[in-house]
Amino acid sequence: MSKASSDNAAVSMSEVPLRRKVAFLSSSRAYPGFTGEVEVKQTHMAWVFLAGDRVYKLKKPVEYTYRDCHFLGDREFLCHEEVRLNRRLAPEVYLGVSALRVDPEGSLALDGEGEVVDWLVVMKRLPEHLMLDVALSRETASGQGITRVAQRLSGFYRGLAPVEMSPDTYLEGFRRELDHNRAVLTDSRFSLARGGVLAMLERLDRVLEEEPDLLGERPRQGRIIEGHGDLRPEHVCLCDPPVVIDCLEFSRPLRLVDPFDELSFLGLECERLGGAWIFERLVSECSRALDDHPSRRLLAFYTAYRACLRARLSLAHLLEPDPRTPEKWKPRARQYLALGQRACRALD
């Protein structure tokens, strides 16, 4: 069978390139009954198409640490996993999974007839002004709204069964990630590994070696659960009730967390955006609701650790063959490192 050159040419599944899928999904003709302009966004892992009150997410055929999404079956699995997992915190937002098909004449269609060439997550579109990152930029986030978010999260955490994990396994995960952090943050190409950064990395190492019970008590107490895994302001919507979207669906190990590790992550990201007050509100509300009162030193470790991790992931964009918006990643990494150093002072 010859390679297709247009929507009217006969094609096979292997002959529908990503660029053609994106071009089709970027057009209003892909969405029956919709006649407006499709807004298209690209993330590290997906193409996102906003059509009216719906959002369609097409996963990129890339290889993750835990799954190779070059394969159609893996992308299908992850689409269904994304819907299943995110319905825990946003049940009305995640509408389902749609098939992108090609018919014998070569025409693409969503949920039409023909051979499946890809899968998309379908979501209800949320109001942009109510997303927490936008609310922080506009200074419209309120204490009442954050309290509702804390109540939603603590209710979610209360309903999850503890995950059995040994203290050694829990600590080893941090050691492994800190080694990865050091490899990137001390890379001479970035010129970041000076005094304060090295001191922070060494301080976090010493906590794990000299005070293993600071973190080891968390799995012993049954505090590790299968959480969200990527709790950031851009994933929190301040509607009533609030919803949290875009959990980390491709890796269960990365979703196995201490709730207060996740809350430290969210607090770190809010502080970077000017909402330093939010972390205290989250911790206060969730500590009371969960009857769990982690020490300030534990929270400081989680925050500094997350800051190093986020700095590393920011810089990792610059190691890609063709990074998007390369000018923003080194300043972003410096922001995280400054916040991590501030948190680290509570460990001295």
Q: Which amino acid is at 187?
A: D
Using alpha carbons, select from 15, 23, 64, 45 the residue that is nearest to residue 251.
64
Length of the chain: 348
Tell how far CA 191 is from the center of its chain: 27
Tell how far CA 3 is from the center of its chain: 37
Say if strands 94-102 and 115-124 run parallel, antiparallel, or are unpaired: antiparallel
- List the chain pLDDT tens, one digit each, 348 residues: 333 333 333 344 447 999 999 999 999 999 999 999 999 999 888 999 999 999 999 999 876 555 567 789 999 999 999 999 999 999 999 999 999 999 988 999 999 889 999 999 999 999 999 999 999 999 999 999 999 999 999 999 999 999 999 999 999 999 999 999 999 999 988 888 677 899 999 999 999 999 999 999 999 999 999 999 999 999 999 999 999 999 999 999 999 999 999 999 999 999 999 999 999 999 999 999 999 999 999 999 999 999 999 999 999 989 888 887 889 999 999 999 999 999 999 998
Q: Using CA atoms, how far apart are residues 322 and 294, in angstroms rounded to an integer?
A: 42
Torsion of CA 284, 288, 293, 296, to 10 degrees: 0
pTM: 0.91
Give the domains, in start order, of the chain with CATH numbers.
Answer: 13-125 (3.30.200), 130-347 (3.90.1200)
Listed in sequence order, the residues at least 6 apart from 13 whose beta carbon sits closer than 8 Å to its beta carbon are 72, 102, 115, 116, 117
Listed in sequence order, the residues at least 6 apart from 183 whose beta carbon sits closer than 8 Å to its beta carbon are none
Torsion of CA 200, 206, 207, 212, to 10 degrees: 160
Partner residues linked to 54 by β-bridges: 51, 124
